[in-house]
Amino acid sequence: MDSSDEEGEEYLFKVVIIGDSAVGKSNLLSRYSRNEFNLHSKATIGVEFQTQTMEFDGKEVKAQIWDTAGQERFRAVTSAYYRGTLGALVVYDITRRTTFDSVTRWLQELKTHSDTTVAKMLVGNKKDLANIRNVSVEEGAKLAEEEGLFFTETSALDSTNVNKAFEFVIGEIYNNVRRKVL
């Protein structure tokens, strides 16, 4: 979905959020797009995507950020979900190791469905629950390095690093697209 015009003045980037059920994907998106958090969010609620507008080098960039809306519970994320993806947040829950173990499977699925460079960030969510963490910061950083991903820990609950994570991925897409155009 790289719809930059010839002057490169307008961009629409598709970003997907993937990861196991209940890691906080929907809350990361609602925190970023509406500054909202929901303690009892239902897996099925939610529109397919949110659009955020920002500027890089004085150019308008629209990021269309897709949420799985619960499909991941049945491991049934469709190829349509991935189509045209230029950026991804791969999310696990720092308090649940199984969600961290799933990261490689999500990366594999993403790779299977993409035909271009995807800016990827590994996101360890629920940083506010660090007192009951089961995955260390070092483990997250090590996996990210091995897989060639950027890495951060976030909290959708208290907002830590949420905007930073999305904006970093979108900025990386912008750099990737500019590199191709130039």
**Residues lying near Mg ion in the complex (CB under 5 A):** 25-26
Element (H, E) at 89: strand 87-93
Are the C-beta atoms of 7 and 164 separated by less than 8 Å?
no
Looking from the CA of 53 toward its CB, the CA atoms found within 13 Å total: 4
Looking from the CA of 166 toward its CB, the CA atoms found within 13 Å total: 30
User: Near ligand GDP by CB under 6 A, which window of 18-26, 49-57, 109-117, 132-140?
Assistant: 18-26
Q: Which of 27, 52, 64, 161 binds ligand GDP (CB under 6 A)?
A: 27
User: Near ligand GDP by CB under 6 A, which window of 1-9, 21-29, 75-83, 171-179?
Assistant: 21-29
Q: Is 22 in the site for ligand GDP (CB under 6 A)?
A: yes
Q: Is 21 in the site for ligand GDP (CB under 6 A)?
A: yes
**Residue 155 touches which of Mg ion, ligand GDP, none (Cβ within 5-8 Å per kind):** ligand GDP
Q: Is 157 in the site for ligand GDP (CB under 6 A)?
A: yes
Count of residues interacting with ligand GDP (CB under 6 A):
19
| Residue 23 DSSP label | S
Residue 11 has phi, psi (to 5 degrees) of -135, 145
Measured CA to CA, the distance from residue 59 to residue 11 in angstroms comes to: 8
Q: Is 147 in the site for ligand GDP (CB under 6 A)?
A: no
Q: Which of 4, 155, 161, 176 binds ligand GDP (CB under 6 A)?
A: 155
Q: Which of 26, 52, 152, 176 binds ligand GDP (CB under 6 A)?
A: 26
User: How many separate helices (H) and strands (E) can be counted in the chain?
Assistant: 6, 6
CA distances from 16 to 84, 94, 137, 142 (A): 10, 20, 23, 23
In the complex, least distance from residue 31 CB atom to ligand GDP, rounded to whole angstroms: 8
In the complex, least distance from residue 162 CB atom to ligand GDP, rounded to whole angstroms: 8
Q: Which residue is nearest to ligand GDP (CB)?
A: 24
Tokens of 122: 């590994």
